[in-house]
Every structure is written in structure tokens, then in C-alpha cells.
Chain A
């Protein structure tokens, strides 16, 4: 136990305001405004259900990074949940494979209002290198309605965070 506590103390708090081209302080102000807004609009934390509808798993690595102590997503009142029924927002990576199209539609139908959808990555936005084929439906919006698109291969955790906040702001 003591080595663990020593490690925790020595590490300190590593969470940081997300870097933004407009300047860090401005982004930090924006973040705190956003968490207030999330509370005002939704009445509590924003909950996200991540759905991998066919990605190469590169996007998932960066979605995982949202939960690391540096990005510290939960610090903004945003957290991932296990069921779409508990979720305000679907974070969907693609391309949507033909074999996942049905499951994605069911997950969308089960998602609670406001039922926001963020399409993640070049593949989620356009189909990317995989496009549309006998096995792929391509972009997420070909299967369910999409509110915000976050391109990138994969998008950085900061870009993902900005996309999630843009969806809430709508």
C-alpha cells in the first residue's frame, strides 16, 4: 500500500486543459463553460455509448485515451456507459460493415433522447480507405443520422473531445 500511495503522491495531478490552437487558457474557459452547459441542458453528466461498427481499432485507441488521466474526460462530467439505453450520445467508428449495420441500427433505436450521434474517423465520416463495397456500407450517415463528424486517421483525443462538445452544443 505504501509504495502505491508514494507513487500517487509523486505523480500528482497530470490532467491538463486540452490544447487548442486558439490558446490554452481560452480552451480551458470554454471547457468549464461547456461542463456548465452540459449540466444545464442534460441535467447531469453527458453519457456516451461507443459503438465500433467496423473500424480497424485505431479510433478505439484514441477513444481509450480520452479516459486517461491526461485528458480526464470524466473530469468534465462526461462518461462512457455500457448500454445505449443509458446514453445521450453515440460515438460511432466506421466504416459501418454490412455485418454490423443491423446491430448499429438497433443500438441507435435504443439510445435515449437527445440521441446525439458523433461519427468518428475518416472511415466513420466518409468510409475512408474502405469506402462502400459488398462488405461495407461506408460512412456512418449511410446507416443512421449523424450530428457531428470528427475526421482523422485516427482523430486525436483532443479532436474527439471537441467533436463531442460540438454535438452537445447543437
Chain B
């Protein structure tokens, strides 16, 4: 089928994962024209990566995943081995900027013109060596020579810079923030990320599907269920296997427990950053109770390695399910009480309201997904029905109600977290009561040369995983995409009307992943 009257034929990806259409652009102009058409219809750039196909087809391949009304359009473009370049997409989708630069650093295929600064390469390996090329070797012998970064300079009388990081003041992941300020007023924030780059994509190469799952679960620890599910969904789509209904429901149960755990932690930390230590103590106590039940029922406080390709690695019995229902009731009551206290606390609301605001137009422009996008009023949730989109099982039958708020500020992101917590508690009760009987795991015989794409609405936003198998059915290429890729630039915009001391609060209200982005 075709989208937006563009001359590219798409085929529906088989299986019951999230709806994906695969297509191939004949040349760079066709890709660019399609991107323009997606942008015109308020679509998103969901992910972008490259692969070395020289052993299979003689060249390189660029992969772009666009978020469109119906789901995802996965468009690829073949590039010649001797001159692997493609038109710069950052002029159409600003979110492409860092993804293109990372693709150049890792695969050595480059966008033409535009921002050519390195992104993930900080000087640990040379400019002409590309870790994801099949003939790259291990690359362990290079001298680690940290390079300077060409930050955009802000001039004018009284303007100065505050460099922060990579090591930050709290218990938090590393990254560098360059603030340009006049007095306490923020003029500009520019991020430099990549400090958490662990070479995950190279580690996937040559692994079997099961071993890759362990790695996928460690791309961003706070989203281990979302990443593991997206990876499993991609592998299942590639191999043409559908996980059994009970496994899908248990996955949803784990994903919602992950969402609630993170939302509880963030609501506490938001209170703390606005000097309400009471909120921190209360929410962290609830989060601890929540994690302890995870430990008891799943054998792991964050449920790592419990979602596996083909299904799930554990089952829940009736007593476990009833303890989940009981906990949802109890925590729901407490969060309701705490919400009232937050809502009525003048000091807290004074810090939250109008701080770090972005609007829906900007969220759309930056291809933002997840709770930060919904906090600008966009109804964008991979679990929920919307015009032209039917969510994959098990969401379709659960009837997820997406939470939105139109203010776009810290207050809105807190409000969406509250609303989503209540909705997740409702979903958890429904799942626990209506869990279907049946198998937990389907066999997953690898299909040589196959490819698949998975997309899961994690607590932070949409996690996308693209996967290709080689001739022996091992992993040839896995590209995990964390929603933080699109959200980090949104944070740069969100701080611009505020003062330096508001930054920690604004940053926390997004709570983005460094590891997921840098991987």
C-alpha cells in the first residue's frame, strides 16, 4: 500500500506486534519527499540508523522509521559502498540531527551538509574507524584521546557560560550541559551526550536471539521491561511467531508495574526538587513497597530478564495476582491523598506552574513521544486507540485511556504522571483479574536473513527496536531507540524562559535516559 500519495510501496509487517509497514526508497530524493509528506501530516521521525550490507547486497543501508497515524512506516534506502551519503533530514525533522551524527560515528554513512560534529565519538576511536562495519575488528587498541566539542557560543555584554558535567551533583547519569546565561537568566542550553556509550549495538552482532534479550534489558535499567518487550516484538516479527495471549497480558502487567514504579519515584523527586521533602519520603516509601512486591513475585525488583523472545520467563499464581490487586487498591488510595496535598501546596505549585513550558507545536516539530508529549496535549500513546490506529494486543481489549494535559510545563508533566499512575493501577487490576489461561512462551526458530521492528509505549515514551538476522539466524544488526533521543532537544527548548535554579526541576520533570540514548 501507499501513504500520502507518495510513490513508495509498503508491505505490512506480519504478526501481532505493533502495526508496521516496510518500504524501500529508490533514491535520496524519494526518501526526502516521503519525510516531507510525513511532516506535513504531523507525523514523527521515530528512529534512524544505518547498517552495513556490503556482505549481502554490496552497499550500506539507511533505515528511517516514521510515526504515522496508522503506526510506523519503516523506510530504507540503499547507499553505494564507495560513497555512502544521503540527504540531510534535519531540515525536515530536527530530531534527525543527533541520530544522523550517531549513525555517521558508528556506521560511517553520512548526511550531506548540515551539522557534521561527532556525537557519540568523543575521541576513544579514530574518525575513520566505524565500529558497526563488519570488517572493523574489535577496535580495542586505540588511544583514548578525549576531544573538545564545538559548542555554539552566545555573545553579548554580560553573557557567560556555565559548564556542568559530565559528572552531575546528584545520583544521576553522566552528560554535559553547557548553559549560556546572563545573570541567572538562561539564554541557551546545549547538551553534549554520549558519555554512557557502551558499544551496545556492536555487542548484539553475532549473538543468538536469546542472548541478545539479556543485553536489550540493560540498555536503560529503568525501562528494562519496555526495551525487552520491544526487542522481543522485533524478533517475533522477524521470525513470524506470535506470543501466547497469557504471555502478552503478563508483559503488559510488567510494563505497567514499571510505569508506576518510575512515576512514583519521579513524583517524589519532583517534590524534593521543589523543597518538599515530605513528598520525597512519602513517594519513595510507596515505591519501595512496590519494588518489594516485584521482588517477591518476579524474583527481581525491576523485573529484568522476565520478558523474553517468544513470551515471558515466569508465571503468576492466584495468590500473587490477588496481592497485586490489593497493593493497587492501597497505593491508589495513598497516591490520591498525596495528589491532593501536592495540588493544594502553594509553594510547590508556584515552582511547578509555567516552569519549563513547551507547547504542542514544538512537541510535534521535535517528534516528541511519551508523557512529555502528552503533557502538551498531544494524544499520542501506542497503547491507546486514536483515529486510524488500533493498538496491538493486549492493549486493544484493555481500552487504555491516555492522560493528557495542555499546559506543557512541569505542573503538566507531574499531572500526567498522577493520571497515568491511576490509569495503570486500573489496568493492573483488570489484567490481574482477567488473566487468560494458556502457554507462557512460544518457540522462536530463527529465520535466516529476516528483519523485524518492535515499538512499545514505555513509561518515558516510545521505545523502538529494529532487528536483522544473518544467514545463520544470528543477530546481524539490532538498533534500540530510546524516546530520550527526541526528548533531550525538547529539554533544551523547555529551559529557555526560566532561570538557572529551575533547571534541576525542569530536568527532573522530563527525567530522560542517558544510557538509553548513548547506549
Residues of A within 8 A of B (CB): 3-4, 7-8, 11, 14, 50-65, 67-71, 80, 82-83, 95, 97-103, 107, 128-136, 153-154, 156
Alpha-carbon distance A154/B338, docked complex (angstroms): 29
Decide if B285 touches A57 in the complex (CB within 8 Å).
no
Q: Is B474 an interface residue (CB 8 A)?
A: no
Decide if A134 touches B198 in the complex (CB within 8 Å).
no
- Taken residue by residue from 318 to 340, chain B's Cβ proximity to chain A (1 for < 8 Å, 0 otherwise) reads as 00000000000000000001101
Contact of B124 among A69, A82, A135 (CB under 8 A): A135
Decide if A56 touches B285 in the complex (CB within 8 Å).
no
Q: How far is the CB of B173 from chain A (nearest CB, A)?
A: 5
Alpha-carbon distance A4/B131, docked complex (angstroms): 54
**Chain A residues, CB < 8 A from B302:** 58, 61, 154
Decide if A52 touches B174 in the complex (CB within 8 Å).
yes
CB within 8 Å of A: which B274-291 residues: 278, 281-282, 284-285, 287-288, 291
**Chain A residues, CB < 8 A from B86:** none
Decide if B222 touches A57 in the complex (CB within 8 Å).
yes
Decide if B222 touches A100 in the complex (CB within 8 Å).
no
Contact of A130 with B291 at beta-carbon distance under 8 Å, contacts A99-B124, A100-B166, A103-B167 already known: no
Residues of B within 8 A of A (CB): 122, 124-125, 131, 138-140, 142, 144, 146, 166-167, 169-174, 194-200, 202-203, 214-215, 218-222, 224, 265, 278, 281-282, 284-285, 287-288, 291, 301-302, 304, 337-338, 340-341, 344-345, 513-515, 518
**Chain B residues, CB < 8 A from A95:** 198
| Chain B binding surface SS class | loop
**Chain B residues, CB < 8 A from A63:** 171
Decide if A51 touches B167 in the complex (CB within 8 Å).
yes
A to B CB contacts below 8 Å, 28 in the list: A4-B345, A7-B341, A11-B285, A50-B171, A54-B515, A55-B221, A56-B221, A57-B220, A57-B515, A58-B222, A58-B302, A61-B222, A65-B284, A65-B287, A65-B288, A65-B291, A67-B171, A97-B518, A99-B195, A99-B197, A103-B167, A129-B214, A130-B199, A134-B139, A135-B124, A136-B198, A136-B199, A154-B302
Decide if A56 touches B139 in the complex (CB within 8 Å).
no
Alpha-carbon distance A128/B198, docked complex (angstroms): 11
**Chain B residues, CB < 8 A from A64:** 171, 265, 284
**Chain A residues, CB < 8 A from B278:** 4, 7-8
**Chain B residues, CB < 8 A from A82:** 169-170
Contact of B140 among A11, A132, A156 (CB under 8 A): A132
